[in-house]
Structure 1
Amino acid sequence: MNVYLEILIRTAAALVLLLFIAKILGKQTISNMTFLDFVTSITVGSIAANMSFNESINWRHFILAFTVFTLASLLLSVLAMKSRKWRNRISGSPTVMIEDGKMLEDNMRKMRYTLDSLNQALREKDIFNVDEVKYAVLEDNGKLSVLRKEKYQHATKQDVMHASNGEHFPVELIMDGQVIDKNLQKSNLTREWLEQELQKKGKSISDVFYAVRGTHRQLFFDYYKDQVNKPIDKE
């Protein structure tokens, strides 16, 4: 068989199989990718690519690999639907990053989720002040779900327009327990001023995990010891 014709047939067959597998596995794979969906997508894509161009392997072997992997993924999906225990093992579970306005450093560390990633996810939801957040949960698909504190909920467009007067971009002063001297200098602030503000709260710099001056010049501190007796951890 002509090599170009063979590649054309292999590619068309791979496309048909991919569409068929996607139909079997359901919309979940596309709309809400979990660990299982991620692994399935990468593996199936790799098999399809090899099926299209790797002439050294018999195409029947590729179809067999497609079939076995699809059935295995489908079985794991069914197990995840039937059992919460298996669902947590296969797809993972949501992880609370902020509880009652307090950052849960241990959960962030466990998920290898940095402060930069957290702040970016909050800004994407138009939240520039951490102290507006009641709860923040890292979902199975890697997205952050946020519940604002009650006083920050249900703001109208007119409220936002009035509140925008005199706002400033938030300035991070401490991250991961380290003072950001450059940000202090740019904001005409000093380490001594920061220490005095902490002394008013009976704290020192070594107690602080994260500190930021918000859009209205208000200070927000998150401490290593948040006095959250039983932090939520769904892992």
Structure 2
Amino acid sequence: MVLTFFESWAGLARVLVNCIIGYACIIMILRVSGKRTLTKLNAFDFVVTIALGSTLATLIVSKEIVLAEGVLAVTLLVALQYLIAAASVRSRMFSRLVKSEPTLLAHDGIFLKEAMRTQRITQEEILAALRAHKVAEIEDAAAVILETDGSISVLPKSRA
């Protein structure tokens, strides 16, 4: 196996042009598609984001993919994400199919061990979330919820 650090100026120019145009196109497509594409990620949005990144990376470095094909792929991924999001807004059944539900992890200062085990959340992670929300003890929390985007919300007893 031979390591090649430089092949040609034309190859570097192709990467430069594809990177600049691909980046500009993805920014423009994301702006047109609306804020929903850039929200906190649930599992479905996460998959789309990874696919977008992979598609853009392939467009930039692969000699087999031309610019128009890469831009079309990015546009299709964003359009599919838009259609799935629109369908989930219109249909509760469809929404349940593509999105998870929030999970109660603690209630009135009591850890819900079964929910924690099912969601693979440790007590230490919940305590860290409490500290991040400026709640000193689990007893001071009315509820601790694992949100659909993977973040942990804390409702203090004083505000609940």
What's the TM-score once normalised by structure 2's chain length?
0.83
Q: Which has the higher contact order (CA 8 A, sep 6+)?
A: 2
Paired AA for residue 28 in structure 1 = R
Identical aligned residues as a percent: 25
Rounded to whole Å, the distance in 2 between the matches of 1:120 and 1:29 is 28
1:123 to 126, 131, 150: 131
- Larger helix proportion, structure 1 or 2? 2
User: CA RMSD, aligned part only?
Assistant: 2.1
Query: Match of 1:147, SS?
Result: strand
Alpha-carbon shift at residue 97 of structure 1 (Å):
0.9
Mapping of residues 173-188 of structure 1, within 5 Å: none
- Aligned match for 2:96, one of 88, 95, 112: 88
The question of 1:64 aligning with 2:77 is answered no
2:129 is paired with a residue whose SS is helix
Give the 3-state SS of the residue equivalent to 1:69 in structure 2: helix
For residues 1-235 of structure 1, the aligned pairs below 5 Å read 2-149=10-157, 152-153=158-159
The letter for the 2-side match of 1:20 is M
Q: 1:100 to 1:52 in 2, by over 3 A?
A: same
Q: Deviations over 1:144-203 (max 9, x none)?
A: 222222xx459xxxxxxxxxxxxxxxxxxxxxxxxxxxxxxxxxxxxxxxxxxxxxxxxx
- Residues 115-163 of structure 1: CA deviation (Å, up to 9, x unaligned): 11111111111222111111111111222222222xx459xxxxxxxxx
Runs of at least 4 residues off by over 4 Å: none
What TM-score, normalized to structure 1?
0.58
CA–CA distance in 1 between the matches of 2:73 and 2:112? 43
Contact 2:141/2:156 (CA < 8 Å) preserved in 1? yes
| Greater C-alpha Rg | 1
The structure with the largest strand share of the pair is 1
Structure 2 SS opposite 1:78: helix
Which consecutive unaligned segments of at least 5 residues does structure 1 have? 155-235
Instruction: For residue 133 of structure 2, give the secondary structure of its aligned residue in structure 1.
Output: coil
Distance 2:45 2:35 in 1: 10
* Alignment: residue pair count: 152
Query: Is the 2:37–2:81 contact (alpha carbons within 8 Å) kept by the matching residues of 1?
Result: no
How far residue 61 of structure 1 moved from its aligned partner, in angstroms, is 2.9
